[in-house]
Amino acid sequence: MRKISLIILLIVAGCGNSELNIPKPPTYLRLDLPEHAYKEYQSQCGYHFQSSTLFTIKNVNDSIGLTCHKDIDLGPLNGVIHFSFIDMIEPVATYINFANDKVDEHKLKATAIEDQQLIFPGKKVYGTFFELQGDVASPFQFYLTDSTSKFVSGVVYFNSRPNYDSLKPTLDYLKIDLLKLVNSFEWN
């Protein structure tokens, strides 16, 4: 009887105060980004817009010298906007279709693609702003045109692996700056 009492006592003592350990979910670094501030960017290529003060706009060189293409460094956001300027020689539909095809290349990875039409007849600026959600290489793309002779496009890339969940705070911050850029864009 003593053995049975001792075994029961050990079982009851061993079952008490058991704590279930649950692993913590992965976390990501928090970005402390400044308030949005803008400066006027005036291009020698016939356009201007409001650019974030975090951005650095660099000329792109090709084999024949400087072009109207720009690389816009996103500063602490660790990315770049490849900004291209084209003097149109083909019908505007050719350039729009090319830009749309570049967005469509991301359909396999994108969970959603939202577009926003940009129509400013007073400035003769027309275009589309695309937001690609999911683990895509380029989360934002846009194009703007005067519909007769000029066309610009922008494609955003980050210098990191495309992980939508961890990039979401950065994407939300950047979207505000990009919408400011495209909404303030004007031809000279």
Q: What is the pLDDT of residues 102-111, one digit of tens each?
A: 999 988 899 9
- Does pTM surpass 0.95? no
Residue 27: pLDDT over 70: no
How far, in Å, are 82, 101, 114, 129, 153 from residue 68 at the CA level?
11, 22, 28, 21, 12
Q: What is the pLDDT of residues 33-58, one digit of tens each?
A: 899 999 999 999 999 999 999 999 99
Alpha-carbon gap, residue 26 to 162, rounded angstroms: 16
Q: What is the pLDDT of residue 26?
A: 67
Q: Which of 19-23, 28-32, 117-121, 144-148 is predicted least confidently?
A: 28-32
Confirm or reject CATH 3.30.360 for domain 38-187, answering yes or no.
no
Alpha-carbon gap, residue 125 to 27, rounded angstroms: 42
Taking residue 18's Cβ as centre, other Cβ atoms within 10 Å add up to: 6
Domain extents in the chain = 38-187
